[in-house]
Amino acid sequence: MKKYIIIIFAVIIIVTLVVLSGIFMVDKQTDDASITEKNSSQVFFYELKEKYHSQTEIKEEQNNLQYAFLRFTHGKDKKAEEEAERIYHEIWAVLDEKLKEIPPTEEEILAQTVHNLEMQIEWMRLDLYSAELELKAFPDNAEYQARYKKEKHWYDSALAIEKDFRKGKISAQEALDKVKALYMTNP
């Protein structure tokens, strides 16, 4: 019987300690959060690297800056937001200047050209989709039928140009120039 009383008493003490330590930890977390909140300044701060080696690295830094700015301004008052925006634009301007100082590598130029080509074709796909929606809404409309046929022809032509680029028949810049010319002839 004594064993059971001792075990029950030990369990009660352990449960009490666990509950008290849980309460203490919640209070400590709350205190830590309030200390952090009190100590966190209402001024946006972002530290730049000393040196950048490529434009890609700078563009990644710009993305990180933008993310940090959005995180900082979430839930802030108007005055803190305005000050953060001012600082954000100053830092962005510094990064823009650094972009001008570092010439793009051949890989960066190619990547940007391919990205531009893909975006140009995407715009053409969206034009085709728009024409398709119009045609579905008004299938008997001759103007919409003609527009759809033109958009389809231009989009297919753009895809053929992209295919030639992917096969290595033409350069990325040539493909982009051809697709741009095609898009510009599209009224």
The secondary structure of 37-59 as a DSSP string is: HHHS-SS---PPPS---SHHHHH
* Residues with pLDDT less than 50, the chain: 24-39
54-81 pLDDT, tens per residue?
Answer: 998 999 999 999 999 999 988 888 888 9
pLDDT score of 9: 64
What pTM was estimated for this model as a whole?
A: 0.59
pLDDT score of 30: 36
